[in-house]
Copies of this chain bind each other. A is one copy, B any other.
Amino acid sequence: SSSEREGHSSTQSSHRLLAYSDALISIIATVMILPVAHTKIKDDEELKESLQQLLTTKIAVYLMTFLIVTVAWAAHIRLFQVIERIDDCLALLNLACMMLITFLPYTFSLMATFPENTLGVLLFCTCVIVIGLIQAIIVVYGFSRPFLLNDQIQISENQGFYKRHILKVILRVPLFCLVAIVFSFIFFPLSYVLLAVVIFFPYISQSLKWCRGKAIGQQDETPDSMLFYSYRPNEPLSKERVEAFSDGVYAIVATLLILDICEDNVPDPGEVQRRFGGSLIEALQGFGPEFLAYFGSFATVGLLWFVHHSLFLHVTRTSRLMGLLNTFSLAFVGGLPLAYELTHEFPPNSRNELEAIQISCVIIFFAGVFQLAIWVAALFDERETLHPYVRYGGRDHAFMLAKLAVYPCVALATFFVTCALSRFSAAVFHLAQIGVPVAFLLLRLLVRLGLALLRRLLGPAAAP
């Protein structure tokens, strides 16, 4: 073809295409929190009940969408770890793939709203089938122009083996979906089971293989085939893309509340004239809690980003397991604006306000704990994954641990204090929010003081 004759001149680095895809996917993964956040809770209802009745479905949709979109994102990373360079044709195919991925949340919320109706399953499966076919076309196209491939595959003599292996893994998904479509007409609930299987199939088959290996003591596949599409927890994951995706999620989440504020909280000039006698300041005072919630959630998300940034600065190589823990942390981060919005929806000192504050604490706690888990997972294989400074015994090890521990500790402490002193819950919560940025500013000093104190306490005991 004409494009092949020109060879490498039309070839491009895939860096920016991947950054753009990461931005799109991170937006789509996060925005399903909006329908949850915009659910109006009436003042007379108890938060617990209204949560159970109104929000459970929507929160489930948000979490499942987040999961499915991140699965699609992981597949996208695998694909473009094989195909490292692109040309115009691949860029256009990728855009078509992105368009379908951004449509997935809608089909998913149809499935959640009408669980008995086949249409949601049909739409979802159709999207997934087309995405799978486009990815297969990308693989075939890539292997027909080997200069687009990963260098390791390019020099490998097993190109045919790689191609078959990758196509087999990719085409399994559309096949399962086709079966799910057929079953949706025969016996409906089975199609949901099939869809769940298709998402987790590689992980299930991998764990089965691992168990069988442990039981029989059988050898694994050839190491050559392990590099791509292996679905092991230590399969390498592009660190750049994990960072880009996380940045996208943190950025969207940090700005979600200001979008609402800009749209809803500019008072109407006529109403200001009528109700507040033309005094804009008085009219805005009613929005005070909204602004407080905005600054609080921006600061929390910003500081969680800061911790994430500090951690990944010292990570030299990310594994799939770290990516999974990161996804869990991000799913909780995505719930933060909702939690902050709840904290100001209720009258001061009400039971609802207390519960909203405690929910915020729980969300912050889990977002922070999963960040800590990334660090723990990295420490298990520290020679491969961490910079020497932050390994056991490294001079920034304690400092890094302190950074990661600030949010879980503060959230936990705030939670228990609000349980004990429920009357002052709002004050305690706001105090904690002001305290955290100060703690981060002084953290290096505090850690040094803490270490010196520990050494003085433990030193005499160890000396004799």
Contact = CB atoms under 8 A, between A and B. Distances in A.
Given A95-B306, A109-B262, 19 more contacts: A12-B313, A20-B247, A31-B255, A31-B258, A32-B262, A88-B310, A88-B440, A91-B309, A99-B299, A102-B255, A102-B258, A102-B298, A103-B258, A106-B258, A106-B262, A106-B265, A109-B266, A113-B267, A113-B269
A463 B262 CA distance: 66
A451 interface: no
A95 B303 contact: yes
Q: Is the interface of A mostly helix, strand, loop or mixed?
A: helix
Contact of A251 (B23, B89, B303, B445): B23
Interface size class of A (residues with CB under 8 A): 35 or more
B113 A31 contact: no
A428 interface: no
Contacts of A31: 255, 258-259, 262
6 contacts: A35-B263, A92-B437, A95-B306, A99-B298, A103-B294, A106-B265
A75 interface: no
Interface string A301-312: 011011001101
Contacts of A178: none
B19 A247 contact: yes
A173 interface: no
Interface of A: 2-3, 9-10, 12-13, 16-17, 19-20, 23-24, 27-28, 31-32, 34-35, 38, 88-89, 91-92, 95, 98-99, 102-103, 105-106, 109-110, 113-114, 117, 119-120, 243-244, 247-248, 250-252, 254-255, 258-259, 261-263, 265-267, 269, 272, 280-281, 284, 294-295, 298-299, 302-303, 305-306, 309-310, 312-313, 389, 395-396, 437, 440-441, 443-445, 448
A262 to B, nearest CB: 5
A263 B34 contact: yes
A113 B9 contact: no
A117 B280 contact: yes
A190 B250 CA distance: 40
Contacts of A440: 88, 92
A186 to B, nearest CB: 19
Contacts of A28: 255, 258
B303 A269 contact: no
Contacts of A261: 106
Nearest to A254: B24
Contacts of A99: 295, 298-299, 302
A364 to B, nearest CB: 17
Nearest to A441: B92
A176 B303 CA distance: 32
Given A35-B262, A92-B440, A106-B261, A243 B16 contact: yes
A179 B446 CA distance: 41
Contacts of A396: 9
Contacts of A17: 309
A427 to B, nearest CB: 22
Contacts of A35: 262-263, 266
A102 B251 CA distance: 11
